[in-house]
Amino acid sequence: MNTYDVCVIGGGIIGLATATAIARRLSGCSIAVLEKEPSVGAHQTGHNSGVLHSGLYYKPGSLKARLCVEGQRQMAAYCEEHGLAFRRSGKIVVASYPHELPAMEELYRRGIENGLEGLRRLSSAEIREIEPHATGVAALSVPEAGVVDYPAVTRHLASGLQGDVILGFGVSAIANAVDGVTISSEGSSVRAKFVVNTAGLHSDRVARMAGVEPPVQIIPFRGEYYTLTPDAASLVNALIYPVPDPRFPFLGVHFTRRVDGSVEVGPNAVLALGREHYRGSRPNAGDVAETLRYAGFRKLVGRYWRTGAAEAWRSARRSTYARSARVLVPSIQPEHLETGGAGIRAQAVTPDGALVDDFSIVQTDSAVHVLNAPSPGATASLAIGSHIAALVAQRLGGGSGAH
């Protein structure tokens, strides 16, 4: 049986960024990343909007605010250094109605407090100088935002890792022993002194395998995209976002010109019928039952069923989706929207029905569990990795050459 100092469970961008940061920080430390799929980045990392978030939205002082701002600068430098597709295209966050102005001002205040560079307010006329086809009563210009090819970054991290990436290793059991843990999948096992759980949509289940009762449950929220037809793609230069509803950690349907030049509209946020229930895949009855049994989910529905029903209605009707998109770019018509992909967010929900807003990282003597790392988790991944590497170094102490 192979033995490692550290095993990272989950080969998404956060798992690989964390393994890379640990390998750098603890010289001589043996590391393996265990990934259940045949390739890295197969779930949230490979199904997201590809946006490099600036750090505008997040509560000052929160982990999200600090790690997003640090992380976006590290990510930009990483992509430049390694020649990976990336563009600091900037974005605008548009207030479409006067009643959204106070929330937009709050974003401006947060952005300034979070240390964003170049953030400024735009008048209605100035919006059109940046995005000639967009409309609104006012907006924020956020020059530090951009777009990145996160799957490429993840593959690059995997290929450069000083350690093993073991694919097709779906962790199904973790047994604690005096000097570490035995981690098993169907048919094989490895041993480790320390575990990092970055299993995304399954992180609460992996925590439970390790003997930790997570204080939250992952509820999967699907985000569905449309792609603008080539004739409509010229309506969008870069990134156009609405002012988000402050009650939810989702950013609202927006326009993203991706690194490959295509323009996506979305994502929305609807309950997924399974933790890996993408467009075209079959619902997972076990996952749905688990969600419905969770008191936190039932309380969430009790509070927000109207919003949830409206999202589901919009998901089912292209014309309704187009109507939402038209609020930002009035020329959009239903025939401009081609069905695109979908991603599933691993959103932690507390037993009292609250959507966990900040990143949640829980430590025990032999493990670190990442229990909530939705957007901007990809942007922040390199900074999250360094943050976790520091925690691991404290636990493993000088024995593995921490520096």
Ligand X SMILES: Cc1cc2nc3c(=O)[nH]c(=O)nc-3n(C[C@H](O)[C@H](O)[C@H](O)COP(=O)(O)OP(=O)(O)OC[C@H]3O[C@@H](n4cnc5c(N)ncnc54)[C@H](O)[C@@H]3O)c2cc1C
- Under the rule (CB under 6 A), what is the footprint of ligand X? 9-15, 34-37, 42-45, 47-51, 53, 170-171, 198-202, 206, 223, 267, 343-345, 373-379
Choice between 161 and 402, CB closer to ligand X: 161
Choice between 92 and 138, CB closer to ligand X: 92
Choice between 135 and 194, CB closer to ligand X: 194
CB 118 within 8 A of CB 143: yes
The whole-angstrom separation of Cα 58 and Cα 43 is 24
Query: What is the nearest approach in angstroms of ligand X to the Cβ of residue 128?
Result: 25
Choice between 103 and 167, CB closer to ligand X: 167
Choice between 141 and 184, CB closer to ligand X: 184
Long-range contacts of 333-336, Cβ-Cβ distance < 8 Å, separation of 24 or more: 333/232, 335/229, 336/228, 336/229, 336/231, 336/232, 336/235
Query: What is the nearest approach in angstroms of ligand X to the Cβ of residue 13?
Result: 5
Tell me which residue of 339, 370, 354, 373 sits closest to 268, measured CA to CA: 339
Query: What is the nearest approach in angstroms of ligand X to the Cβ of residue 356?
Result: 13
Centroid of chain to Cα 121: 27
Choice between 135 and 156, CB closer to ligand X: 156
Query: What is the nearest approach in angstroms of ligand X to the Cβ of residue 124?
Result: 27
Place of tokens 């320390």: 194
Which secondary structure element, helix H or strand E, spans residue 193, and what is its range? strand 188-197
Query: What is the nearest approach in angstroms of ligand X to the Cβ of residue 403?
Result: 26
Which secondary structure element, helix H or strand E, spans residue 223, and what is its range? strand 217-228
The whole-angstrom separation of Cα 287 and Cα 282 is 12
Query: What is the nearest approach in angstroms of ligand X to the Cβ of residue 188?
Result: 12
Query: What is the nearest approach in angstroms of ligand X to the Cβ of residue 236?
Result: 15
CB 295 within 8 A of CB 350: no
Structure tokens at 49: 């909007």
Choice between 15 and 252, CB closer to ligand X: 15
Centroid of chain to Cα 185: 26
